[in-house]
Amino acid sequence: MNAPTAPNAPVTPELVSRARAAARTSGRGVYAELETLSGLEPRAFVQALAALLRFEVIETATMLEMRPANELLPLARALTRHCALLHGPGESLVAVIPDPFDIELQDWIAAVARAPVRLNLALRSDIQAYLTKLESSARAMDAVQLSLISEAEGTEGGEQISIQRIHEDESEAVKIVNSTLYDAIRDGASDIHLRSAREGMVIKHRIDGVLGSAGPVFQREVSTRIISRLKVMAGLDIAEHRVPQDGKLKVNALGRAVDVRVSIMPTIHGEDAVLRILDKRSIIPADGVLRLSVLGFEPDVLSSLRKLVNLPYGMLLVTGPTGSGKTTTLYAAISETNTGRENFLTIEDPVEYELQGVAQIPVNEAQGLTFERGLRSILRHDPDRIMVGEIRDKETAEMAVQAALTGHLVLATVHANNAYDVFNRFTYLGIDMYALTSALNGILAQRLLRTVCAHCATEHQPDDTELRELGLTRRDLAGRVLRRGTGCGDCRATGYKGRRAIVEILALDDTLRRMIAEKQPIAEIKERARAKGIRFLRDAALELAFQGETTLEEVARVTLQA
């Protein structure tokens, strides 16, 4: 390790010695101090550190190609020690460690291996991603065994199968709640699910629209304290365990205040909590101005959308499942068109983002302020433009149509699978199709697709099943390069990082209006729309896959019901 180092190397023995000195007073560890001192990004830092120490760096994809030495280092122990042991070429063993300054771990792993090991260095997050992938395949096999154990031990026996014993004092629950919230906000999660189970509690985050990354299972006692802690923070009744409760809390994390909606629900195993994170950061772009142009829409989509939101009156409906970015699109449309010369009012549940110069009314069901009553009072306030957060009942639907027919511009979201499904939805609500089509300027259907993680992306040849599912042939793929992520520390082993919106805009013309009002078959309406050059959601999604931006799997997940 005394090998000469290039003078401009980012990590030098001199820097290591400064890091050691800093670590003695800060208690942060040499690795962390050195990383800070180097000023490098995590991946670049690992490379530089490995170069200095003559270690090899290994990433998730390479680890996954090797055979794990589970017989020497069982997964549960690898998870607690944040390391991995793999079979190398021949008889050799490769140990993967996150911190070369942790000598104790190196000794431990050598003892476990009972043979010489070659030490490789990896990002802690890459090791975590690798273990997560290993765990999810192991869990499928273990699921049966685990349920048998807990069955045999009865309901009281649940505690014994919790993997790690945790300090049971109050501060432990506080620590878990805080770290869960912190992680969720840092990772851009939209929801946190805390589900009481027979064995305790499972914590999951919804990130990029997908629920995943199951947290540890805590003991029953700790999970009860976690729920109590959340109730205290959200100003709810701690003594009440039998009825659902809703509240709100505010946390300060990563230098900003974030609102969190808390909803507690009693279940057979205790109480569940679902936290909705209303992080403005996930809506507002870096420069603080929300415009349609920052949402990444194609130019033709952008211009037809702009045309629709700039019409003086009529209705624009935005549709898509929960978490498809409908509200963000509406907010962008409003902030772009709001000139201040018109009276703009909204009724929303909840108000997720404050719009300059717009009067926003939050729905408050508990106090009787529903969408219907809110919209009724808005209409008495002489509005020019109105946004209805969601149309979900007959009265609101009727009022919105009426408002659009009487010279107002109405923007609203409606929960439906696609643009054509919206007509079924309104028919179901008992709205006259002639009135609806006269009021309606257009419908925008939206989805968010997860994009392939740039770090672990590889070329991917789809198999026949995958193609069949999407109705594609080999010929459709000719000359295209499809990609998918193998999973790494950057993408929490999912292979995806970030999302992109795809939209389908059905702008109505007189022919389409007549066809819809006369309830002609959807297939014919679609035919007419296609002839008009309207691009369907599926086509927009496939286009992204063909550009290597997303996977066919994701296209199927997101658009098969569209």
Judged by the rule CB under 5 A, the positions of this chain that interact with Zn ion are 453, 455-456, 485, 488, 490-491
Label each residue of 71-126 as H, E or C: CCCCHHHHHHHCCEEEECCCCCEEEEECCCCCHHHHHHHHHHHCCCEEEEECCHHH
**Is the CB of 84 or the CB of 401 nearer to Zn ion?**
84
Query: Does residue 269 contact residue 155 with C-beta atoms inside 8 Å?
Result: no
**Residues 445 and 312 sit within 8 Å (Cβ to Cβ):** no
In order, the DSSP letters of 318-329 are: EE-STTSSHHHH
Give the position of tokens 């050799």: 92
3 state SS of 541? helix
In the bound complex, what is the minimum distance in angstroms from residue 123's beta carbon to Zn ion?
11
Closest approach of Zn ion to the CB of residue 202, in Å: 24
Structure-token match 């805080």, residue found: 178
- In the complex with Zn ion, the residue whose CB is nearer, 137 or 406, is 137
Residue closer to Zn ion, measured from CB, 425 or 455: 455
Query: In terms of CB distance, is 229 or 497 closer to Zn ion?
Result: 497
| 78 vs 491, beta carbon nearer Zn ion | 491
Nearer to Zn ion, 398 or 490 (CB): 490
Q: State the nearest-atom distance from the C-beta of 486 to Zn ion, in Å.
A: 7
Element (H, E) at 412: strand 409-414
CA 123/CA 492 separation, integer angstroms: 12
Burial 427-465 (b: 16+ CB within 10 A, else e): eebebebebbbbbbbbbbbbbbbbbbbebbbeebebeee
Report which of 28, 35, 37 is spatially closest to residue 49, judged by C-alpha positions: 35
Strand residue runs (E) in 415-470: 440-452, 457-459
Identify any residues that bridge with 504 across adjacent strands, giving them in sequence order. 445
Is the Cβ of residue 37 or residue 61 nearer to Zn ion in the bound state?
A: 61
Rounded to 5°, angle at Cα 545 from 320 and 556: 50
Question: CB of 131: closest distance to Zn ion in angstroms?
Answer: 15
Q: CB of 377 within 8 A of CB of 360?
A: no
d(CA 479, CA 482): 10
Give Cα separations from 469 to 72, 84, 542, 553 (angstroms).
Answer: 41, 37, 13, 9
The smaller minimum CB distance to Zn ion, of residues 45 and 536, is found at 45
- Closest separation between CB of residue 333 and Zn ion, Å? 33
Residues comprising the chain, all counted: 562
Nearer to Zn ion, 34 or 488 (CB): 488
Compute the least distance from the CB of residue 84 to Zn ion, in Å.
17
Residue given tokens 């699109």 in the structure block: 329
Nearest position to Zn ion, beta carbon: 453
Name which of 391 and 488 has its Cβ closer to Zn ion.
488
- Smallest gap from Cβ 183 to Zn ion, in A, equals 18
End-to-end CA distance of the chain: 59
Classified as helix, coil or strand, 252 is strand
Q: How far is the CB of 498 from Zn ion (least distance, A)?
A: 11
Least distance CB 379 / Zn ion (angstroms) = 50
Q: Which is nearer to Zn ion, 408 or 455 (CB)?
A: 455
- Inter-helix orientation angle 30-38/42-53, to 10°: 110
Q: At what angle do helices 299-309 and 326-337 cross, to 10 degrees?
A: 60
Smallest separation (angstroms) from Zn ion to the CB of 138? 21
User: What's the rounded Cα separation, in Å, for the pair 71 and 530?
Assistant: 59
**Whose Cβ is closer to Zn ion: residue 348's or residue 490's?**
490
What are the CA-CA distances from residue 118 to residues 96, 106, 113, 122, 374 (Å)? 8, 10, 11, 13, 67
Rank residues 61 and 232 by Cβ distance to Zn ion and give the closer one. 61
**Shortest Å, Cβ 469 to Zn ion:** 24
State in angstroms the smallest separation of the CB of 139 from Zn ion. 20
In the bound complex, what is the minimum distance in angstroms from residue 484's beta carbon to Zn ion?
10
